[in-house]
Structure 1
Amino acid sequence: MGCSSCSTGKDGQPKGCKNNGTCGTDGCNKLTVFDWLSNMSLPNGERPFDFVEVRFKNSRKEFFQNTENLSLSIGDIVATEAQSGHDIGMVTLTGELVRVQMKRKKETFNDAPAPKVYRKASQKDIDIWQKCRDREEEIKKRAREIAIILKLQMKISDVEFQGDGSKATFYYTADERVDFRQLIKDMAKAFGIRIEMRQIGYRQEAQRLGGIGSCGRELCCSTWLTDFRSVSTSAARYQQLSLNPQKLAGQCGKLKCCLNYELDVYLDALKDFPAQDTKLFTEKGLAFCQKTDIFKEMLWFSYKEDPGNWHVLSKDQVNEILQKNKKKEKVASLEIYAIDIEVEEKVVFENVVGQDSLTRFDKPKGSGNKNKNRNRNRNKNKNKNRNRKRNQNNA
């Protein structure tokens, strides 16, 4: 996915983005942040912010302090401080924008010292890092087999090695609490490394693994969405969507995050819109609302005695009738206010710019039958002539 400036270089080393995260493919990073301050110089006397943002596997990002005053830029591979040993990651953000991101994510290191950037990664560090990354799929498969043998109700979705290869973090999802003490013992014995288990939600799992949504694009949670807001079925009801779980659920099995994107617009439009359970009192009978169209501002009503016959009314007309009903006045009938909707005929095929018919290369249907009949008649005549000659010779 990466462009030519951030694809893999020699010996499997990542080149690093040379466009500050602005390449056209948007494949440089997950949850890429555009560094719009990269071309601006600091005022006189101001020192650059000494924190950098480092991305590890998938969408995990952390902030580290550059105490050694290293000259770091976006795309550099660095060795960072870990709980034990060191980790290897890629610098994704530097400068004043890191301060903004830390404030936004409420990252403060007042009580404890901030983790540090040790150095730029050497070739040896990168080789060890790449070997560990190559082992992750095999270890994940083996860990799943061990979990199945122990009959644990959990799913190990991802494995992330520490940069020095001394520790591996297993991300898993589970509906209930899982006792994985025996699992950790078996995996530590099988793999010879320190094990850390970390439970994540189904949305976080989809964010880490990524994928293609029903819209045909990459998942929002794995590309740009940083926070997960709660999504309820009321969002689908307000937007008049079919409550079909298969269509409303995303890759994570939960309701799609995009149901909230246009919800505010629908709520603003529904403020002066009649409710779905609106009833209209007419002299002809009581009318119920059957359907609404927010975009066209139309409502469909039908009489209680004749539910199959629908009448189209505009939003203003329905509000006018409701105002009269509040005054205990009844309108004569819905037919007086009904709107006639013209149905446009859909053109199946239209000859534009001198195009010929789509069936111009097809053979005529009757031509094949005619040729067959002609051949049959010729064969019959030939057989008759042969029989006549034989009879004459015999005579």
Structure 2
Amino acid sequence: MEIPVSFKEFDVVEVRFKGGRKEFFRNINRLPLITGDAVVVDVPNGHHIGHVSLKGELVRLQMNKKKVQNNDEIRSIYRVATEKDMEKFNAAREQESTTMYRARAIVQELKLKMKLSDVEYQADKTKATFFYSAEDRVDFRELIKKLAEEFKIRIEMRQISLRHEAGRLGGIGSCGRELCCSTWLTDFRSVSTTAARYQNLSLNPSKLSGQCGRLKCCLNYELETYMDALKDIPNVNRPLQTKAGEAYLQKTDIFRRIMWFGYRGDSNWFPVTVERVHEVMKMNSAGDMPENLAEEVKKQQQAEVVDFVEALEGNLDRLDDQYKNKKKRNKKKGKGGSSGTTTAAAEVLAQASPTPETRKDRPSGRLNLGEPRPKPERPGARPAAAENKPRPERGDQPKGQSQPSGKNRPERDPNRQPRENRPPRAEKPQGQNARPPQEQRQKQAPQATAPTSSAAVEGAERTPRPEGEQRPRKSRNRNHRNRKPGNSANPSSTTKGDAS
């Protein structure tokens, strides 16, 4: 966008020097300057180099703000700095650190109560400005003489405040950013502890003070907002009178408009709204006392908790309904959409490998979940008719009949004497077996009406063992201990039925 022909740009330019110091100079030669250009400006007794920081109509506003008059006292800009000018300027800046250390040593020799913070050389090396800070006035006439003899230049002493000193040195604040005084802040207003009291800050010097040792400038940034918010909050100069006791003000939340009160001897604080405090103060001025300050606030909190619980339970019910609907949809899909595919696959499998059972009972090839699966027959097992036959109860069996386990238990004699009054048993003769032979055992035991199993019948047909001969220990459990499946050559792998 082109500038109109009749428009004339403001000819004053703001130039920034070392340490953030800014001054105004007139662009009499109408040089096409850009922000950041290095320019050679006119200073008393020589010239200096600075950088353009502002131009145009904004400079006029800055001059009105700082109350600088646009008159002939404003010095002019000579030219844009060349490479030779910048080389001389950089060489002069390199001497500043050595000059400051030597000047501090001279101050210590003279025992002056002052602190040298910075030194600034002029670009033409004809003048050096020493910036210092001191609590009282300092007589530095002797110091100027020694510095002039040491460095062979003109000396200027300039006293600055601690805030300006921190701005010239720079640093990082507690907020993590560069100091305001070294970046953009130029007007330093006085900061008092009342600003911290209005903002309910703890009066801790280590937290409220900056690097300069004074109160932080940022305490004034939000002070006006706090002052506007405090207009509606009452000033509680004395404790509030209630039936529970005297309530003392402990803390005020300005933006939430809640005041916290506590009773004497009680460590709990009770939140009270600003409107409630006004009501209690009016009641106390009329001679009345409420029962409790936090009564209404508690009711409100309970109502909020109930609403929250109801909303939470309602959300859980909705989630349950949502998952129930999903399950129903999945069931419908399984019945309608996927049933055709499953039945078709089952029919294909049934046709591919048909069996007599599937051909007769289940022509579709689909398993019937209501019918039990047929069990394969085992060798030596009882027939299916015998398995399905109901077993008689113990009380219904005749007395002389055998029990299902194959053992006969004689009835107990009702006239039998107790164990204590029985005569002692006769001792067995030595040399005889405690167990009678098999023939005698068969004669003593009553005959069973029906054999319990085929194994028992086969055991009865075995030849009896000669008297006095016992079964060897190794062969007692050989059928179970040394059994190896799939090894027909091993005689120990035969089953009990095969051995018989």
1:268 aligned to 2:224? Answer: no
Aligned residues of 2:38 and 2:51 also touching (Cα < 8 A): yes
Equivalent in the alignment of 1:298: 258
Cα distance in 1, alignment partners of residues 36 and 121 from structure 2: 20
Identity %: 54
1:79 aligned to 2:16? Answer: no
Instruction: List aligned pairs for 1:40-79, cutoff 5 A.
Output: 41-79=2-40
Which residue identity is paired with 1:175? E
Equivalent in the alignment of 2:177: 217
Please point out which of 158, 164, 169 is paired with 2:124: 164
Distance of aligned partners of 1:49 and 1:109 in 2 relative to their CA distance in 1, 3 Å threshold = closer
Cα distance in 1, alignment partners of residues 256 and 165 from structure 2: 40
- The alignment covers a number of residue pairs equal to 302
Distance of aligned partners of 1:284 and 1:113 in 2 relative to their CA distance in 1, 3 Å threshold = closer
1:67 CA drift (Å): 1.6
1:323 aligned to 2:282? Answer: yes
Equivalent in the alignment of 1:350: none
1:146 aligned to 2:106? Answer: yes
Instruction: List aligned pairs for 1:120-139, cutoff 5 A.
Output: 120-139=80-99
Compare relative contact order (CA 8 Å, sep 6+) and give the higher one, 1 or 2.
Answer: 1
Q: Deviations over 1:112-156 (max 9, x none)?
A: 532111112222211110000111111111111111111111111
1:222 CA drift (Å): 1.2
Aligned residues of 1:311 and 1:339 also touching (Cα < 8 A): no
1:329 CA drift (Å): 1.6
1:296 CA drift (Å): 3.1
1:109 CA drift (Å): 4.4
Larger Rg: 2
1:255 aligned to 2:215? Answer: yes
Instruction: List aligned pairs for 1:13-24, cutoff 5 A.
Output: none
Which residue identity is paired with 2:275? D
1:288 CA drift (Å): 1.5
Q: CA RMSD in A?
A: 2.0
Cα distance in 1, alignment partners of residues 270 and 55 from structure 2: 62
Which residue identity is paired with 1:284? A
Which residue identity is paired with 2:11? D
Q: TM-score, normalised by structure 1?
A: 0.72
1:43 CA drift (Å): 3.0
1:270 CA drift (Å): 1.4
Equivalent in the alignment of 1:8: none
Whichever structure has more helix as a proportion of its residues is: 2
1:179 aligned to 2:139? Answer: yes
Equivalent in the alignment of 2:267: 308
Cα distance in 2, alignment partners of residues 219 and 254 from structure 1: 13
Aligned residues of 1:136 and 1:159 also touching (Cα < 8 A): yes
- Unpaired runs of at least 5, structure 2: 306-500
1:47 CA drift (Å): 2.0
Equivalent in the alignment of 2:187: 227
Cα distance in 1, alignment partners of residues 293 and 73 from structure 2: 74
Cα distance in 1, alignment partners of residues 295 and 15 from structure 2: 68
Q: Deviations over 1:10-32 (max 9, x none)?
A: xxxxxxxxxxxxxxxxxxxxxxx
Cα distance in 1, alignment partners of residues 267 and 15 from structure 2: 63
Any idea what SS the aligned residue of 1:88 has?
Answer: strand
1:102 aligned to 2:40? Answer: no
Any idea what SS the aligned residue of 2:298 has?
Answer: coil
Cα distance in 1, alignment partners of residues 247 and 32 from structure 2: 74
Which residue identity is paired with 1:218? E
Dislocated runs of 4+, deviation >4 Å:
none
Distance of aligned partners of 1:331 and 1:276 in 2 relative to their CA distance in 1, 3 Å threshold = closer
Q: Deviations over 1:86-126 (max 9, x none)?
A: 1111122222222222222211143x532111112222211
Aligned residues of 1:312 and 1:339 also touching (Cα < 8 A): no
1:166 CA drift (Å): 0.7
Any idea what SS the aligned residue of 2:176 has?
Answer: coil
Q: Deviations over 1:314-344 (max 9, x none)?
A: 22221221121222221123353453879x9
